[in-house]
Chains A and B, each alone.
Chain A
Amino acid sequence: MTGLGNAIALYGRYAAASVKSQLQYRASAVMTALGTLLITASEFVAVWALFDRFGQIHGWRLPEIALFYGLISITWALCDAIARGFDNFAQIVKSGEFDRILLRPRSTVLQLLGQELTLRRVGRLVQGAAVLGYAFAAGRIDWTPGRAVLLVGSIGCGICVFLGIVMLQAASAFWTVESLEVWNSFTYGGVTMGQYPLAIYRPWFRALFIYVFPIGCVTYFPGVAILGRPDPLGAPPIVGWLAPLAGPVFLAGCLQIWRIGVRHYRSTGS
C-alpha cells in the first residue's frame, strides 16, 4: 500500500525535523528529561513504600504491580511523545495554524502527529522500562514467544487508546476552547489508575475503563495473561489475548469523531 508507506515515510521526515529542532536546545532538553525521570521515579518510590508497609493489595504483590506500572508508563510515555500536536491543539486552532494544515494535501491527523516528537518524554520511558525490568527480574514470569508478542502488542494497542483520548480532547476544541483540562482525568487519571490491576477497583469504575476508555483492555487483561495468573474478575484466558484489540477499535471511533469535528470547523469557520 504505497499510500500508507508514503505516509510513514513522511512521518519519518517530520520526526527527523522535530528531533533536529529539539537538539538545538540540548541542555534544556536533557535537563527536562532528567527532571521527568526524577519525578516519575519518586512516584514509584511511593508505590514501593506502600508495599513495604502493606505487603500486598488484594493478593497482588509488588513485582506483579510493577508489570502493570511499567507497561502503562511506557505506553503513556510513547503516546505523549507523539501526541503533542493534539495536546496543543487549542493553541493551534486559536493561532490559525490549523488553516495552514487544511491547506496542505495531507491528512490532518498525520500532520498533527508530525508536529513534534517530544524527546523529553524519554524520562518517563526510562522509568517505565526500569520498573518493567524489575517486574521481569523479581516476578516469576514464564516467558514464551507468544507472551513477548502480547507484551509488545499491548503497548502498541495502548498507544492507540491514549492517542484516541487525546484526540477527543483536541476535537472538543472545535466546539469550545475552555475546560479542556477535564480530559486530563482520563489521560493522567487513567495512567494512575492503570498502574494497579483493575481487579482492585469497584465494578462501576472498572466498567468505565473497560467499555468506555478501554485502558484496562490494554494493561490489565494482557498483564494477567503474561503473569499466567487466573483472573480474579473471572474472564477466560482468551480475553487476555484478544482484549488489546479494543485499542485500535477505540482509536477508529475517535478518528470518526475527529472527522466530525473537522467538518464542523470547516462549516462554521474560525
Chain B
Amino acid sequence: MTDNSVTSVKSPTTITDPGESNRAEHLWGDRLVIRTGRIIAWLFPLLMVAIVIQVIIRKFGFNQAWLDDAQWWMYGIAMLTAFGYSISTESHVRVDIFHQNYSAAKKARIELFALGWLLLPFLILMTDIMTHYAISSWTAGEGSDSPNGLHMLYLLKMALPVLFMLAILAAMSALYRHLIKLTPPAVWKYILAGLPAFIFLAERVVNYVIWWHIRISQPDLSVFSINDEPLFDWALPLGTAIVMAVILAAFLAARRSTTGSLNS
C-alpha cells in the first residue's frame, strides 16, 4: 500500500477553472468580473475556517455571536459575487434540447435577447431598489439581531447594490461579446440590443434628476411627498426620448463616418 500504486491509476482531471474556459473571447469587463470572483472565492476557505473555529470555541463554552453573523455575511457576499461570475462564465442553467443544434448566429441572437431584454432590466431594478434599501438601513443605523453580533449591518447592505453593479458589468460585457459575433459593433446597435434596459436606466436617471430638482426648488416639501408630484409622469417619456435621440445620433454619426471613409 504505497502512494505510487494509487497514483498509477491515472488521476482524471475532473475539475477546471471555470473562468478560463473561453478566455480568448473575454473582454476587459469579463476579466474584471472573473478577477473579482477569484479574490472573493477565498471567502469559501475562510468561511470553512470560521465555522470550524466556532464549533471548537462553542465546545469550550464561548459563544461568539459576531462569528455567527460573519458567516452569513461572507456567504452573502460570496453568493452575490458568484451570480455575476457565472454570468461571465456563461454557466447559468439552460434547457438545451433545441439550443445545442442552433447555428452560432442564432445562439448569439438568443443570448442578446436573454441578456439585454430579460436580465439587464432586472439587474438595474435590483441595483436601484437595493440602493434604497441600503440607504434606509444607513439612516436607521441598523445593527445586528444579537447584542454582541456584527453591527453596522448597513455595510453588508451597501455591498449588495455594488455587487449587483458587478453583475451589470458582467451582463453588459457579455452583451457586447455576443453582439460582435453577429455584426460589426456600433453604439446604436448596442443600445438596441439592450433597449429595455437602457430605457429603464434613462428613466431612473431622469427620475432622480426630477427628485433632486423638486427637493432643491421646494426645500419645505416633505421628503415623503416628493414622489407624489405630477412631474414624475414625465420620467418615462423623457427617458425613452433620450434613448431614442442617442440611438439616432449614434446611427447618423456612424453613417457619416462610414460614408466619409468611402469618399476619402
- Whether both chains belong to one complex is answered with no
Binding site for A on B (CB under 8 A): none
Binding site for B on A (CB under 8 A): none
